[in-house]
Amino acid sequence: MSTQRRRGLQGTGPAKRSAVEKYSARQFPVQHGIQKLEEELNAFNDRIAELEDEGHRGHAMNVLKENAIDLAQRIDELRSVLVDPTKRGRSP
């Protein structure tokens, strides 16, 4: 299972993120925030996969997975701000 996870993460590499990386954090703070959170999420997922390959189980794995889920939720929230301008306090 962890091998599949790593292959899936490799498919979302720099080719898809290159457009976002061209924008500065000052001009596009939400996109920059998403990019940073995605980098953190990828690091968590890589660490989870490494530990799973080594056979680790237990509380530390659960904490890593919970943190990864939290990051994914934060990314989704930021993406929803980009899609729905009313979430930023503006009227449609």
Torsion angles phi and psi, residue 65, rounded to 5? -65, -40
Q: What is the pLDDT of residues 3-62, one digit of tens each?
A: 455 444 444 444 455 554 555 667 788 888 999 999 999 999 999 999 999 998 889 899
Q: How many CB atoms lie within 10 A of CB 61?
A: 14
Contact 81, 31 (CB under 8 A): no
Structure tokens at 8: 């899936």
Does the structure show a pLDDT above 70 at 91?
no
pTM metric for this prediction: 0.64
Contact 72, 41 (CB under 8 A): yes
Q: How many CB atoms lie within 10 A of CB 45?
A: 20
